[in-house]
Homo-oligomer: A and B are copies of this chain.
Amino acid sequence: MKQNIGIGAPKKIKFNQELQLKKGVALPEFELMIETYGTLNQAHSNAILICHALSGNHHVAGRYTEQDKYPGWWDTMVGPGKPIDTNHFFVVGLNNLGGCYGSTGPGSINPKTGKLYGSDFPVVTVEDWVQSQALLADYLEIPQWAAVAGGSLGGMQALQWAIDFPERLKHAVIIASAPQLSAQNIAFNDVARQAILSDPDFDQGFYQEHNKKPRNGLKIARMMGHITYLAEQGLGMKFGRELKHGGLQYNYDTDFEVESYLRYQGDKFSDSFDGNSYLLMTKALDYFDPAQAYGGELSEAVKRIQAKTFLVSFSSDWRFAPKRSKEILQALIHAEKAVQYLEVESIYGHDAFLLDDPAYIQGMQIYFERINQEVNHVAG
């Protein structure tokens, strides 16, 4: 029976060691905020790492208090009786380095100066995140993940894991992702960054010191991003040309429901998210390109992979379209790797990977049940 996970609590883990970054600099020490669900089995073989997308965090499932309005961002997928079944798996969510939910990032104290990092926090990459997550696996005494899974930017981390640490995961679950961003993806990200960077309250990235926030920039960035995560059809069905006040207003307040909805989403996001973290996350997206180190050949890059791979895409996702998942599929087939691919019919665009779609949930359920058989029932 499908159940919700109940009340959970995050915890912060301190790593008293240097982390060398792709940029060529090192973090002298760092902390990762994590949240876990379920129980690690005796063989330490049933652990699943959940990697988050642009605005996600360690709070994957459940609630902190009974009063919480919303559960964690992947509560549809993670819990007792759900596809990533916490009766069988030990599930680990984390906030990535550079984030704004408790892990070391622009809002942390720079130990070298005793002041907030602000925009002195270095640009980090998907490879850097995977390195930090490997140190987390060491800390948790997990020699090999049963699976590393994520959607969008989270899927990129799962792919990078499979390439960089072939022996440390049995499965890579890569959902609504891409082997690299397109020019159009990069272009949208840069508009978002320009909106934040040009906000007068950005203060060259040291706004927190001055108790300010690039709120307008974040709002514009999120409004635009939000449109691109949704499909035209889904947006049309939800809002159409529905008016907010019956008639046209002939001014620049609110005419259409879709405007009201997007502005609300933008405001909400600018309350909860951090400008510097948004800049960092979009750069990590832009820079991701695992084929690059292998002469631009993705099929070369994936040759190292030992994990089995499960790819999922959504028909109406135009930010990370099915054709992008198929590029990963083709590279894996070319390299003669074990791979399965599921394309889900959906009108909800990129956001579909967060939603409760029956075909998607069932596909994940079947795949993770197989993983459960592999890791928990080896002898039987």
Contact = CB atoms under 8 A, between A and B. Distances in A.
B183 A248 contact: no
Contacts of A223: 187, 190-191, 194
A374 interface: no
B224 A190 contact: no
Contact of A220 (B184, B194, B286): B194
A126 to B, nearest CB: 13
A328 interface: no
A184 B220 CA distance: 15
A16 to B, nearest CB: 25
Interface string A236-275: 1011110000001011100110110011001000000000
Q: How large is the interface on A (under 10, 10 to 19, 20 to 34, 35 or more residues)?
A: 35 or more
A69 to B, nearest CB: 25
| Chain copies in the assembled complex | 2
A286 B186 contact: no
Interface string A204-232: 00000000000010011001100100101
Interface string A369-380: 000000000000
Interface in A86-139: 122-123
Contacts of A188: 224, 227
Contacts of A235: 182-184, 187
Contacts of A230: 184
Interface in A161-205: 180-184, 186-188, 190-191, 193-195, 197-198, 200
A294 interface: no
Given A23-B250, A123-B250, A256-B286, A240 B194 contact: no
15 contacts: A22-B250, A23-B250, A181-B241, A182-B236, A183-B236, A187-B227, A187-B258, A191-B223, A191-B224, A194-B223, A195-B195, A220-B220, A232-B318, A248-B287, A252-B283
